[in-house]
């Protein structure tokens, strides 16, 4: 499989800020298409998405290809290898790990580069924002809280997750869990960081 590079829209100039979304396999990745569309509506930017192998089990990369300018589907090892962590990291003005699993959060806190997304984080000279989403029990574990503190101490941005009562895929419970904010709130976060308004939706 080859990396998809959609033809950029005429108004999306080469000078547009380059936003890289690293999507990992939290249940909240089911909202990824809505988040990407909200970013598109709010911000004039070049949008690249990297999906971890787990993320690609929740949402089809084919759907994301219709929204992003570029997509790397890391469930295909050849595609992940060809994309290159250094190039992806160096090309981006802003990186969001969205949603961020306990696994990827912990890997980043320990400086691991065993997989494409943690390797991108490690290789990035630019700001990286982690947006964790996981079961309440996982979030409250001392190891995760320690890893969040470590990431913040290392200069990364880890906003407090939004607590929302709802259906939890992992155990079919219906209680409050920490996760992502609404798509438009996430789009506003991106816009605030890259400062490129899309005039019609600003």
Ligand X SMILES: Cc1cc2nc3c(=O)[nH]c(=O)nc-3n(C[C@H](O)[C@H](O)[C@H](O)COP(=O)(O)O)c2cc1C
| 18 to 96, 103, 162: CA distances (angstroms) | 11, 26, 26
Judged by CB under 6 A, the chain residues 57 through 96 that form the site for ligand X are none
CB of 132 to ligand X, least distance (A): 7
Other C-beta atoms closer than 10 Å to the C-beta of 155 total: 8
Which residue number, 80 or 194, has a Cβ lying nearer to ligand X? 80
Near ligand X by CB under 6 A: residue from 48, 124, 133, 147: 133
CA dihedral (33, 49, 187, 151) positive or negative: positive
Which residue number, 64 or 103, has a Cβ lying nearer to ligand X? 103
Contacts with ligand X: how many residues (CB under 6 A)? Answer: 18
Q: Does 104 bind ligand X (CB under 6 A)?
A: yes
Pairing of strands 173-179, 162-168: antiparallel
**Options 5-13, 41-49, 85-93, 99-107: segment touching ligand X (CB under 6 A):** 99-107
Near ligand X by CB under 6 A: residue from 52, 124, 147, 191: 52
Question: Could you give the CA distance from residue 198 to residue 201 in angstroms, rounded to a whole number?
Answer: 6
Pairing of strands 70-73, 4-5: antiparallel
Question: Given the rule CB under 6 A, which residues bind ligand X?
Answer: 24-28, 52, 54-55, 101-104, 115, 133-134, 138, 169-170
């Amino acid at each position: 499989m080859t990396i998809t590079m959609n033809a950029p829209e005429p108004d999306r100039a080469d000078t547009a800020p380059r936003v890289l979304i690293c999507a990992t396999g939290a249940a909240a990745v089911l909202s990824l298409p809505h988040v990407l569309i909200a970013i598109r509506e709010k911000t004039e930017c070049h949008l690249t998405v990297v999906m971890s192998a787990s993320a690609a089990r929740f949402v089809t990369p084919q759907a994301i290809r219709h929204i992003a300018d570029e997509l790397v589907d890391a469930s295909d090892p050849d595609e992940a290898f060809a994309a290159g962590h250094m190039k992806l990291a160096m090309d981006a003005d802003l990186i969001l790990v969205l949603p961020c699993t306990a696994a990827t959060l912990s890997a980043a806190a320990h400086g691991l580069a065993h997989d494409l997304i943690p390797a991108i984080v490690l290789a990035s000279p630019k700001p990286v924002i982690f947006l964790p989403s996981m079961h309440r029990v996982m979030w409250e574990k001392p190891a995760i809280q320690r890893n969040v503190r470590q990431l913040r101490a290392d200069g990364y941005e880890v906003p407090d997750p939004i607590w929302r009562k709802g259906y939890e895929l992992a155990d079919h419970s219906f209680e409050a869990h920490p996760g992502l904010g609404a798509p438009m709130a996430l789009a506003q976060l991106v816009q605030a960081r890259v400062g490129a308004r899309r005039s019609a939706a600003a």
